[in-house]
Amino acid sequence: MCKTKYKDMNLRQDHQNNQFSRLALIGNQIRKALFKKNTARDKALSESRALIRLCANTIRSIHRGDMKEAKLLLAEATESADQLRMVVSGDPDLYFAGYTQDGLKEFVEANVLLSLVSDGELPGPDELQVEVSTYLKGLSEAATELRRTILDIIRIDHSEEAERLLEAMDEIYSLLVTIDFPDAITGGLRRNTDVVRSVRERTRGDLTMSVRQQRLEKALNSVEKLRGS
């Protein structure tokens, strides 16, 4: 009876030791997986910052009217976006993380703004390899950036070009208001749409005032010419 008791105790001890060994193995596997994920996260953060910086410089070049420089910077941004996607590939948590999608959103904004200002072909989400919600947010921010371009244009009286860009802003807003889905799906697009509407209305008012001022100046110049003759 004692032998049986000791045998059972030894079996339980062996089983417990096996469990502890198994737990240690699982712990090592978990640490390795988390280390790998943390390394990828650090790389993704670095790539996202680099991408955002390149896109910001691209947008600044567009506003300066330096399209050659903007295209060169955007080519660098495209490589950076590819690198970012590669770093987070295979890990949905990192791919859909805010810093990854923010970087890709800025990438969309820079691409869309350049195409609108240069009157080129508008790229879609497939061409830019981004999620639809990220594309829409980048599109909305590109629309608000058009305001600065339009204001720069009307300072030198190029109202026709300003009207073309305002029309583009109108078209973007018209698209955004039709995207009637929950914020969980669109990533809070309603807020962006409201901003576009506000910026659009202010820009329309500024452009209208500019056109009226130009007409008034032309009328006054005509009167001066008549008096001079």
Mean pLDDT of 68-97: 95
Mean pLDDT of 170-189: 93
| Predicted pLDDT of residue 103 | 97
- pLDDT tens for residues 134-153? 999 999 999 999 999 999 88
Quick one: tokens of 167? 């029309």
CB 159 within 8 Å of CB 115: no
Q: Which domain covers residue 144, as residue numbers?
A: 44-228
Percent of the chain with pLDDT over 70: 83
* Side-chain half-sphere CA neighbours of 89 within 13 A: 8
Under the banding of pLDDT at 50, 70 and 90, the label for residue 3 is low
- pLDDT tens for residues 184-198? 899 889 999 999 999
- pLDDT tens for residues 6-18? 555 565 666 566 7
CATH number at residue 202: 1.20.58.2140
CB 194 within 8 Å of CB 204: no
Average pLDDT value for the chain = 87
pTM, whole model, 2 decimals?
0.84
* Domain-embedded: residue 39: no
Measured on CA atoms in the order 18, 24, 25, 27, is the torsion positive or negative?
positive
* Domain-embedded: residue 194: yes
| Predicted pLDDT of residue 13 | 62
* Domain-embedded: residue 158: yes
* Rg value, the chain, Cα: 29
* Domain-embedded: residue 116: yes
* Domain-embedded: residue 3: no
Which bin fits 144, alpha (ψ -120 to 50), beta or left (φ > 0)?
alpha
| Predicted pLDDT of residue 156 | 80
Total number of domains constituting the chain:
1
* Domain-embedded: residue 75: yes
* Domain-embedded: residue 32: no
* Domain-embedded: residue 152: yes
| Predicted pLDDT of residue 155 | 83
